[in-house]
Amino acid sequence: MSESEEKNAMLYLLAGVGIGALIGVAAGMLFAPKAGAETREDLSNKLKELKGKTEEWISEQRAKRGKELVEEVGA
């Protein structure tokens, strides 16, 4: 198996694990013994938290890439 195929296989494995985890969390929350309004509020809060973390990660990656480009151009 080539290096590229190994990377693709790892990517698919991680994507599958991530999707499975999300489905498990969603199912657990939907079948939890809480009122519907509480569950929707919890889901909303978790999605807002996830959105914030994702935006933070994207900002970090952009800053990192910008720094790498500056170093590359300056070299």
Give me the residue spans of the domains in the chain: 1-31, 36-75
3-16 average pLDDT score: 85
pTM of the model: 0.48
pLDDT at residue 75 above 60?
A: no
Tell me the per-residue pLDDT of 12-30, one tens digit each, with 9 for 90 and over.
899 999 999 999 988 887 7
Instruction: Give me the half-sphere count of Cα atoms (radius 13 Å) on the Cβ side of residue 68.
Output: 6
> Which pLDDT value is given to residue 70?
66
Nearest Cα residue to 46 out of 33, 58, 61, 28: 28
d(CA 41, CA 4): 43
Reported confidence tier of residue 53, pLDDT bands at 50, 70, 90? very high
Give the torsion sign (CA, 28, 30, 35, 39). Answer: positive
Confidence category of residue 39, pLDDT binned at 50, 70, 90 = confident
